Structure 1
Amino acid sequence: MNTQININYTKNNTYDALSKTNNYSEDKGFSLSYSYNFSLKEGIKLPLLKKLRLTQNIGFSSNFTYNLGENYYVKEFQKTILRKSSNYNLSLSFSYNLSAYTQMGLNTAYSVFKNLLKQDKTQSIDINMWVLFRF
């Protein structure tokens, strides 16, 4: 089992002497990750197929990420926002070793990007099923 938490914060400041403005870029966010792998010696019995058991390694992982970003400038004590956006992503993965030579899995993801200045949002959903054959 593995769990990880990350927190990020970045702020940049530049000064434009010609226009006498301070330009700022500020980004903050966090991510949470979790993964778990296990194997069953005896296996899992399948209800309709009594002689067949799932006996190999099973893995699960999840990840959640959130970010908030803003670009703005200050001129004569007036703050003007150029960009303000947020995005978050949730992904889940599952894998199973059918045998030493075959592995299968499922990956899913849900993402949302929001432009907080224009009040619009873009969403996406990804679903991937895969099988790996080793020769």
Structure 2
Amino acid sequence: MTITMKGYRVQRPAERLDGFRTVLTGLSLADNDLDGGVVLARISSLQAEINDLTLVLAGSEAWLIEWLAIEHSKGSVLYAAAKISKSRNEPLDKSPSDARSRSAIMDRFNDWASTFLTRLDDYEASSRQPATVAPWIAGAEAFPGDHQP
């Protein structure tokens, strides 16, 4: 439920992450998605959700905003990597066992979206403290150099 007070929109804690859930629910990447802009638009809308939540939280739960921003970047990079792979190698792809193959990148994207959604629920069920997101931040920060499928 959203409460409006003198022009300010105030969300109850249980609703603060609903916009993220809306974007992430059912979000997946397949080869044909790389030809259109639907998935990209959904990824981009995560930044708007982060901006809105930053205003709503007004400085509290900075660790949550940090984690959300890192996850947004991770999803963006995975999408871009798959898009670049398709534009460079259109019909060709590396072996699916190769971490740089388009299919492996898309699998990672789909795992990212699913895990992100699960962690939103985990965060809301938690004490909402920095310790909750610390391992997620560490894992996401390790992403650029992990080279795993």
TM range (shorter): under 0.3
Normalising by structure 2, we get a TM-score of 0.25
Normalising by structure 1, we get a TM-score of 0.26
* Structure possessing the higher radius of gyration over alpha carbons: 1
Q: Which has the higher strand share?
A: 1
User: Does 1 or 2 have the higher relative contact order (CA < 8 Å, sep 6+)?
Assistant: 2
